[in-house]
Chains A and B, each alone.
Chain A
């Protein structure tokens, strides 16, 4: 079945780095854009970043721009999130999510499905 599985979370000190992975299976990974979304403990969802199906286009939330880098390896069906200069406010569960596209108005309709189970990143001294 279509599945995304995140890994790489853990406890890290402020200012340090961490790399998350998201392994995809059950679908043609190289045909889909993929996103990272995070959720701080007890809080709502925050969109973080997206990468196009071929890795040529990337976009970031202002809160992570210049510190986080999204990438993918389509030969390994894997998405990555390199997180540098981590801050306490980056503490969250990080989810990867596949972007589905359908229909058209002025722009294509997009939605996130499925999501991975998430991996917890804790930034603390």
Chain B
């Protein structure tokens, strides 16, 4: 059974750095055709892809976030970590950890339950 679980703070202050951890089970982070990524969804709005990482450590980022994102993985811990610097109230959203499938065509076939992060002073 594939599961992904997000953990991290529920409240961050403006200018702080958000660090979210995704712990996975039911699949291997060494599978060449699978990866793990992050998607966020502000309340009442569409999802926004942030980043993902594959087993060979190839990473892809949403460039609209202008270098604020970093994704990394610890295969031994079955964890993927996302950091987002210089948080702003507009970054308030539910952050989802997702399993990424495919190489040329990329889809998100399993999602975590999501973690609501609020940015406020």
Asked if A and B are interacting partners, one says no
Q: Which residues of A contact B (CB under 8 A)?
A: none
